Amino acid sequence: MKILLVGSGGREHALAWKLAQSPRTAKLYCAPGNAGIASCAECIPIKAEDIAGLRDFAGREGVDLTVVGPEAPLAEGIAGLFGKAGLRTYAPSREAAQLETSKAFAKAFCRRHGIPSADSETFDDAEKAYAFARSGKLPIVIKADGLAAGKGVVICKELREAEDTIRGMMLDRRFGGAGRRVVIEEFLEGEEASFIAICDGRNVLPLASSQDHKAAYDGDTGPNTGGMGAVSPARIVTADVERTVMDEVLLPVVQGMADEGMPFVGTLYAGLMIKDGRPRVLEFNARFGDPETQPLLMRLKSDLVEIFELAVEGKLGGHKLEWDARPTACVVMASGGYPGSYEKGKVIKGLADAGALEDVVVFHAGTARAGDDFVTNGGRVLGVTAMGADMRAAIDRAYQAAAKISWDGVHYRKDIGAKAVR
């Protein structure tokens, strides 16, 4: 079958790498793709947000299934547009994707359906937001309501920081329209983990657990990023915690969305804070996480195309996934200055040496070609992912591979997976 993958990041390279392994895949396109994705798919120069252009391409080429990676086309309504054209899409509808595209919607949904989450208030007036921040105890968490590329969440430990954050989001429009409305919620203590599942509107098929590292610098310090690395499995997600997440979070979400006329078909991501074995929801995403996808798909043995087809057809019930028991670790190598301003076009050296190591895959996130060279073309550039006999071995191998790669200004955290081996 012909498959179109939408997106251009490290998540999409991992998806392309896995989709290309399926015997069901006769032709794989990726729009727009990146320099690494070009090794396993034909890259098409159509932006992920150009959903009309993508629809026209899929119709013209006879694409059998479209898989959507990033959040922006979900917010634009790609699933509905493709559906009207008779094209199958593995992606939630625009209405269902509100779980990610509007934090205010997600918080209200959790309250309606008794899903454990932090106490919060939503504001579209900056003065009222200031007053609320001044009236409660610190720290607090301030979130831009809309999509902000993983950077619209700020933990504020001091009142001045909270006021500056509200001003930056609501008045200075640091995140454009995404910050016109903000959610202010209590700060939750515990350990974070990611729990991702495939949904068909009624059934929930959980993936293995994983753990992201969002802060820019070692020790979970610095500003939030889209993710600086990830491991799978997450030590904190025990069998008991997994059952609780399924029973109290994922199944109620899918049932609630169906009850409200917005059946969720696609990938549901729950970002969790876990303390004393009790999970509470920090956020939802309506797609695979990045960089969690990289270590997860390296462990997955099942046919990803078959899974996506079953989800689209509403036939996930009773299906189980097969996993490699060995842990995996992903180290994100970023451009100097990320998540702030950074330069592009830096020549990347050592990719072949790193990729030649056993049980290592270097997934490209922000790369391009300049003649015979791979060059940087984004903030997060590579996701160096490795498998090992145990978590310590996987982490060591990922860093061994990362050490072979260099470019001017490269930056990466040196403590990815520290919690997993503590």
Determine the pLDDT at residue 151.
Answer: 79
Give the sign of the dihedral formed by CA 47, CA 51, CA 55, CA 60.
negative
Determine the pLDDT at residue 322.
Answer: 98
Per-residue model confidence as pLDDT tens digits over 264-291 = 999 999 999 999 999 999 999 999 999 9
Work out the average pLDDT over 325-350.
Answer: 97
Are 153 and 238 within one domain? no
Are 76 and 177 within one domain? no
Are 211 and 287 within one domain? yes
Strands (DSSP E) found in 162-316: 182-186, 191-200, 204-206, 211-212, 215-217, 221-224, 229-232, 265-275, 278-285
Domain for residue 103, yes or no?
no
Domain for residue 413, yes or no?
yes
Among 267, 282, 312, give the residue marking a domain's end. Answer: 312
Domain for residue 232, yes or no?
yes
Domain count, the chain: 4
Are 350 and 293 within one domain? no
Per-residue model confidence as pLDDT tens digits over 98-128 = 999 999 999 999 999 999 999 999 999 999 9
Domain for residue 321, yes or no?
no
Q: How many Cα neighbours within 13 Å face the side chain of 265?
A: 24
Q: How does residue 149 score in pLDDT terms, banded at 50, 70 and 90?
A: confident
Among 91, 108, 136, give the residue marking a domain's end. Answer: 91
Determine the pLDDT at residue 239.
Answer: 97
Share of residues in the chain with pLDDT > 70 (%): 100
| CATH number of the domain that residue 145 is part of | 3.30.1490.20
Are 28 and 74 within one domain? yes
- CA gap 386, 316 in Å, rounded: 29
Are 304 and 364 within one domain? no
Determine the pLDDT at residue 95.
Answer: 98
Are 7 and 87 within one domain? yes
pLDDT at residue 345 is higher than 90? yes
Instruction: Give the domain extent around 37.
Output: 2-91
Are 210 and 271 within one domain? yes
- CA gap 89, 83 in Å, rounded: 7
Are 348 and 383 within one domain? yes
In this predicted structure, which of 147-156, 212-221, 315-324, 382-391 has the lowest mean pLDDT?
147-156
Domain for residue 108, yes or no?
no
Per-residue model confidence as pLDDT tens digits over 202-239 = 999 999 999 999 999 999 999 889 999 999 999 999 99
| CATH number of the domain that residue 381 is part of | 3.90.600.10
| CATH number of the domain that residue 266 is part of | 3.30.470.20
Determine the pLDDT at residue 348.
Answer: 98
Share of residues in the chain with pLDDT > 90 (%): 97
List Cβ neighbours of 135 (8 Å cut-off, separation of 6 or more).
none
Among 73, 91, 109, give the residue marking a domain's end. Answer: 91
Q: How does residue 136 score in pLDDT terms, banded at 50, 70 and 90?
A: confident
Are 209 and 292 within one domain? yes
Are 18 and 56 within one domain? yes
Are 300 and 209 within one domain? yes
Are 113 and 256 in contact, with CB atoms under 8 Å apart? yes
| CATH number of the domain that residue 45 is part of | 3.40.50.20
Determine the pLDDT at residue 224.
Answer: 86
